[in-house]
Structure 1
């Protein structure tokens, strides 16, 4: 299962670089298209959080703890811990957003390039962890549906990252390379996630919902505000609903 989790999260992470490839051929995307693609990514993450992480976490908790209320409490604890962990990283690690600017402790201490990389890493690491945790209970189909959905949303996200870096003056090849590197943190999260929940079955319900809470924090704190900054909220919402529906279909079909 650890190998499955690593390979699947690696595949999902590589999709970030694949999605950025059109930048090499001079393709530019408009701001409204970029906002719609980020909305799509948010929709995939919301759907994955509920259908592939929270609901399975409650089901596993009910079997392990023998009580629906205990399972729900464990799920709530996991969600809160996941959100708190990303919030702490967001506060402590210096990074910079493409629109809102520097954030974290002493962001001026690092070059702008690394500030961007750290911001994207904070975003991508929990996604890889979610894929790994999806395999932690031995449920290959659930893990594969998560990896497929997150891989699909990583492609437009990779393009959005590369385009944003191009807008900051980076070259085409360097922009694609950085986008790929940010995706390659996902297998690290995948190993951590699958190894953690494999150690003990009692960790699985909290682990699944921990990953969901981390992703939900990112959606609310980063992605949705970003897509609504430029007056394209209708397109962003359309993209969100499309991503949510697609991931739901993938989860029902593959899971």
Structure 2
């Protein structure tokens, strides 16, 4: 496979891993309690954190140097910040965010937008990663963290009263967004190879912003911050070990 095709295929696989987390709810048909939700999100955050550090930040500096890393990293964080500010979206724990005038979109679609904003840079990371020696490691990292994230999404939707079938398909769609991000990342690097360190840092900055601004605050707002923190540590350890074994 060419690097571009590899990035797109890997982003497809990583995105579809979100649905794996939703599969148990097709049979269990119950939502998740707050403690379990915080554990799942903490685990996903730890995996994302290790992937950001070792598969995006370090290679970006190695390929392009500190300046390109800093520029791309800051732009990635600003991008997600602006999307959060100007796009109407809903978090089940944090509630509504976006423009001051609350959107008339249904709550379920506001939730889909929120997950989309977070998954897009993940897909971009996989697409860009197709041009590096860490392609498989990046795809695996995003795919693994998508499993508990998918479980959290499906469990939250079911717990909020949505049908099992609808919850599964919404979870599937949130993962499918990563394919678009992957295709865009691969396309950009195909056009201009020098963009690679910027793009890797951009994806890393976007992902780290999501972890710090969304995931950690939400998992620390329901009284289960200790167990969510240990879940984050476990996720970080798992991904660090896998990255070293693959590297």
TM tier relative to shorter chain: over 0.9
The Cα shift of 1:133 comes to 1.0
Query: Matches of 1:9 and 1:245 in 2, distance apart?
Result: 23
TM-score, reference length from structure 2: 0.95
2:135 alignment counterpart: 143
Following TM superposition, by how much is the alpha carbon of 1:28 offset from its aligned partner in structure 2, in angstroms?
A: 4.4
SS at match of 1:102: strand
What is the Cα-based RMSD across aligned positions, in Å?
1.2
CA distance in 2, matches of 1:254, 1:146: 10
Partner SS for 1:206: helix
Residue 56 of structure 1 is aligned with which of 59, 62, 72? 59
Which region of structure 1 is more displaced relative to structure 2, 121-130 or 98-107?
Answer: 98-107
- d(CA) in 2 for partners of 1:77, 1:25: 46
1:21-40 alignment runs, 5 A limit: 21-26=23-28, 27-40=30-43
Is the aligned partner of 1:194 residue 2:189? Answer: no
Deviation sequence 1:206-240 (CA, Å, 0-9, x none): 11100000000000111001111111111111111
The 10-residue stretch of structure 1 (225-234 or 29-38) with the greater mean CA deviation from structure 2: 29-38
Runs of 4+ in 1 over 3 A off after TM superposition: none
Shift of 1:173: 1.0
- For the 8 Å contact 1:136–1:193, the answer to whether it is kept is no
Count of residue pairs brought into register by the alignment: 243
- 1:157 matched to which residue of 2? 149
Which ranges in structure 1 are unaligned for 5 or more consecutive residues?
62-70
**Deviation (angstroms), 1:199:** 2.1
CA distance in 2, matches of 1:193, 1:249: 26
* 1:128 aligned onto 2:136: no
Q: Does 1:119 align with 2:114?
A: yes
Structure 1 contact 2–194 (Cα < 8 Å) conserved: yes
- The alpha-carbon deviation at position 153 of structure 1 amounts to 0.8
Residue 244 of structure 2 is aligned to residue 252 of structure 1: yes
CA distance in 2: counterparts of 1:172 and 1:91, whole angstroms? 31
Q: Where does the alignment leave 5 or more consecutive residues of structure 2 unmatched?
A: none
Residue by residue over 1:133-175, the C-alpha shift from the partner in whole angstroms, topping out at 9 and shown as x without a partner, is 11134x2xx1111111111111111111011111221001110
TM-score, normalised to structure 1, is 0.92
Q: Say whether the 8 Å CA contact 2:11–2:178 is kept in structure 1.
A: yes
Q: CA deviation at 1:29?
A: 3.2
